[in-house]
A and B are shown apart, each in its own frame.
Chain A
Amino acid sequence: MFIINCPYCGERDQTEFSSGGEAHIVRPKQPTELSDDEWAEFLFMRKNIKGIQFERWNHSHGCRKWFNVVRDTSNDKIHAVYKMGEKPPVNK
């Protein structure tokens, strides 16, 4: 259990949020030109590393907005929270 600082509502308990997985995955511009392997890579493959990870979260039981979180997956320490479309505040 940890607290997430929603950029719109403020600090709330983690149970109010849903995780949306790895952030900043860019959709390929021409999906038709990709091989099945390359398409599967975009669609399914996620890093899920131990350490600092860039993630998308949704405040599903609050304002229902999406935003980005920089979280250390080994201890759930949140290093930064920033809105969709904003530049990651720490080196990515």
Chain B
Amino acid sequence: MLNFETTLQVSKSYGDLTLSEVEPILKINLRSNKREFSTKIGKLLSIIPPIEANTSSSNEDYSILWLSPDEWLIYSNNKISYEQQNLLEENLFKNISNINQGSVTNVTDHWVMINLKGSKIYDLLSKSSPYDFKNFKMKKGSVAQTLLNHTDVILHNTDDNNLNLFVRRSFSEDLWLWINDSARFL
């Protein structure tokens, strides 16, 4: 596994707003339209992929985000080593991909996860997103895929005024700079 240097190493605070990259955590993309897929994942991770749109399910170790009727993103709630990540990926691959129950793709290095917290996070996001956060911010566990400053993001409401933002690695520095720039004017 390549050991990527990230450009976002520092955590920043602007008044009540704090942003920081969380690393290393595991991220895995799942795709399947098979009937037994859900129970398989349930057995492997003791967590069921949500069927309802724009929602997620979580246990102590992992969260599964709904991305599409046949696509989900799993990520670890806590930092875990690359060795542990590989073990889990292998286990999923063996029990899902290998027996044609769906696809398992390790997207750990594809997405960068930035944690945003503070009472002004939705003011910040609303500065450059077409998404209506009214329901999203009320419901813990909500998931939204939308645009932020013309960049694709996945947002996961983890708690009141606390969310995880996923952005593609190649866009992460640009978005990080935009967030920092915009946060000054909140």
Contacts and interface: CB of A to CB of B under 8 A. Distances in A.
B42 interface: no
Given A8-B53, A9-B53, A61 B147 contact: yes
A8 B53 CA distance: 7
Interface stretch (A27-35, A39-47, A62-70, A71-79): A62-70
A16 interface: yes
Contacts of B53: 8-10, 63
Contacts of A16: 130, 146-147
Contact of B146 (A8, A61, A64, A65): A61
A38 interface: no
Nearest to B147: A61
Nearest to A64: B68
Given A15-B147, A16-B146, 16 more contacts: A8-B53, A8-B68, A9-B54, A10-B53, A12-B130, A13-B130, A15-B130, A16-B130, A61-B145, A61-B146, A61-B147, A62-B145, A63-B67, A63-B71, A63-B145, A64-B68
Interface of A: 8-13, 15-16, 61-65
